[in-house]
Structure 1
């Protein structure tokens, strides 16, 4: 029997200057013993993150001393000798966690990054164990299966659903409601494509219509992420969970029973299935937009402000709390932030330009004459009827055309570049309409 061949170019590790520029995720199938080990490592990683974060916060509050991973790695080496549960975790994984904490702090202090202060990881947090690239080895078994060798774990089988296509720079084993997965950070060496020269478009992301493209006559609708039976089962599991948690707090001191953990597992499977379907639609939508358009205009939405809760206090209860909660779920279910993130890197990949324009009055502006009038869209309905020129259109399609017009005037001069244009912010006072800006000169 011949030995399994290593995947091409996977075990050739280059200099530290080469970084991963793509990700690959595969479904992993550990043995029962490996599953137990990975679960223990996942909780160890979570505890190490929390302890390291608490240590950094304490030293800063008490002594104004900034602790970094270089110092904590030395302390980790000493702690591994005294604590068996920490010594069982591969040393490379512990060091990776401390470096990730460095990155979390750097993102928090970066004014251009939206990250908040690093948060503690709860017990219900997704289990994840990182490994640096030099400590893993991947080999192909056949057309559909491959293995990755991890420190202290051995060979872990995974489904080779697509080619890795590059040099592995790191690996992460994680668990969700559907089981274990292994993700690789891969250096492919691919450079951004040249400008594709394709037509421009504007995209209006909404709730009733998931996405309306200005060059299309019908909206793109995301199918329900759960079937009717799945919604019914999820509702029943949530109700059962509430009863079991109440019983645990009243009679068991808050300790979770096996039945409660089974209920949580069932909820996790359904919510993971829902998230996977949502992600699948988002990737297909953004890939299609980036491949078939040279300029993509979107709104510069403030998702956090849009999805703020209306919940108040006992003394001063909020208004329309349940209605606002339903609207927030619908907004977040369409993932406008994730769509923008994917469009940013896919536009560079396929030779397109992404332009984020100010979102004010896009739903109240006539795409034909430029009249801004709330009466043109009475009751925020689906029909737009201009009170000035009589233009009638679907409200979301009209908004997408207006978004495209603003994008062309904001980033049209940079349409021959593969770099996405920075967001143009307009002050709240004295806002002039974007279409009144001078048009860029067209060169032959």
Structure 2
């Protein structure tokens, strides 16, 4: 049988027993420790001897470690192999000039709890219409909510925990192919802060509902203050060790934050799916979100101005998740027979969308307000809708070729060897 890779992901809510939950938590901490040790070993060998160590050599050392360390032997062998394989993938992404990933980072204790498994060792059986079980090595059968069909062959699985509970994610091979062009009209979309998304073919904006209610916001503020007091007490009297009461406070904060993230993700998925299904192409701005949300704090010598205001703007930008929307549109447009066309974002908010005008003038946006009023032809429209129409026009002209990109990184990036030395030097300073 030919090797096939996972091309789709499926995520379900997992319901382990108390004993299974303790075992998964213990395994997750072992995976985190293995990642950090393997990463530190690679950095040390490269700094001291210039040797690039990969997972093949570390797998042999893992066998010896499992024979000598009881806590390492408790972890299923394939989970350790998957951790090393994931570390190899992180290095390959870093070395790839076309991939935005940075140098692999160490995982803290508060990092997302997860345990990876190989698909060959995982079995799934359906119990009824809404429930199923997954068999994990050395753990047995664990129930999960069958919220959707798997729809393919399982290639890998990952058990993780967030603020709402445990989940199991399957990498599934479905054999899907890019959809044929749907032949529908295209559109331009302006992602903003005041208006979450304004589509050029629509009369009104699409607004993301508040991710937290007023009561939840007040609750989160109260818990954050409570955590700060408990942390101060721990540093003064407990040597920095967290009390059980403080851990419960952190768990409540995490639950609210996870609920907020889930609501944001729900709106994002519904928005991107609708755009990809109902349009022949989707034009968006080619934004560099990292630069847009950079801090204005400055340095000791040259302190920044309006730092608090810029911090609030950064939170609003990231809350709308423009990078995640682009990532989802990238694969959903291929799936539904559409096309994603990023266009230069330069002066889209200052360009008149009137086909007979098209002039650029900052005076057309007095005070950067919500109304666009062209000082040359008198065209008047909502500023975000005007920008979306301009984005659609640029998408039709370029046809997917991004020119004069606003991205700070050029196509020809820093050579791989220089990037490795630079990143590892920075990594060494953090130790």
- Counterpart of 1:28 in 2: which secondary structure? strand
Q: Structure 1 residue 350 and structure 2 residue 336: aligned? A: yes
Whether contact under 8 Å (2:193, 2:320) holds in the other structure is yes
CA 1:323 to 1:286, structure 2 compared with 1: closer, same or farther past 3 Å? same
- Counterpart of 1:155 in 2: which secondary structure? strand
CA 1:318 to 1:230, structure 2 compared with 1: closer, same or farther past 3 Å? same
Shift of 1:62: 0.7
Q: Structure 1 residue 425 and structure 2 residue 369: aligned? A: no
Q: Structure 1 residue 154 and structure 2 residue 156: aligned? A: no
Query: Partner of 2:153 in structure 1?
Result: 167
Whether contact under 8 Å (1:298, 1:403) holds in the other structure is yes
Deviations 1:65-104 (A, max 9, x none): 1101100000000000111111100000000010100110
Alignment of 1:176-195 (within 5 A): 176-195=162-181
Query: Partner of 2:423 in structure 1?
Result: none
Whole-Å Cα distance in 1 between the matches of residues 119 and 237 of structure 2? 48
Whole-Å Cα distance in 2 between the matches of residues 131 and 422 of structure 1? 40
With structure 1 as the length reference, what TM-score do the two structures score?
A: 0.90
Alignment of 1:42-441 (within 5 A): 42-314=28-300, 316-368=302-354, 369-411=357-399, 421=400, 423-425=402-404
Shift of 1:295: 1.0
Deviations 1:31-51 (A, max 9, x none): 000000000001100000000
Whether contact under 8 Å (2:345, 2:405) holds in the other structure is no
Whole-Å Cα distance in 2 between the matches of residues 313 and 236 of structure 1? 31
Whether contact under 8 Å (1:356, 1:424) holds in the other structure is no
Whole-Å Cα distance in 2 between the matches of residues 345 and 271 of structure 1? 27
Q: Structure 1 residue 15 and structure 2 residue 18: aligned? A: no
Shift of 1:314: 4.8
Shift of 1:312: 3.1
Query: Partner of 1:433 in structure 2?
Result: none
Whole-Å Cα distance in 2 between the matches of residues 63 and 243 of structure 1? 46
Whole-Å Cα distance in 1 between the matches of residues 264 and 244 of structure 2? 30
Shift of 1:333: 0.3
Query: Partner of 2:410 in structure 1?
Result: none
Whole-Å Cα distance in 2 between the matches of residues 170 and 397 of structure 1? 43
Whether contact under 8 Å (2:343, 2:405) holds in the other structure is no
Shift of 1:64: 0.7
Whole-Å Cα distance in 2 between the matches of residues 382 and 301 of structure 1? 21
Whole-Å Cα distance in 2 between the matches of residues 172 and 243 of structure 1? 36
Number of residue equivalences: 405
- Counterpart of 2:360 in 1: which secondary structure? coil
Whole-Å Cα distance in 1 between the matches of residues 330 and 375 of structure 2? 36
- Counterpart of 2:365 in 1: which secondary structure? helix
Whole-Å Cα distance in 2 between the matches of residues 309 and 399 of structure 1? 26
Shift of 1:311: 1.6
Whole-Å Cα distance in 2 between the matches of residues 72 and 178 of structure 1? 35
With structure 2 as the length reference, what TM-score do the two structures score?
A: 0.93
Whole-Å Cα distance in 2 between the matches of residues 131 and 331 of structure 1? 35
Structure 1 vs Structure 2 CA RMSD: 1.1
Unaligned runs of 5+ in 2: 408-431
Whether contact under 8 Å (2:156, 2:171) holds in the other structure is yes
- Counterpart of 2:274 in 1: which secondary structure? helix
- Counterpart of 2:332 in 1: which secondary structure? helix
- Counterpart of 2:340 in 1: which secondary structure? strand
Shift of 1:379: 0.9
Unaligned runs of 5+ in 1: 1-13, 412-420, 429-444
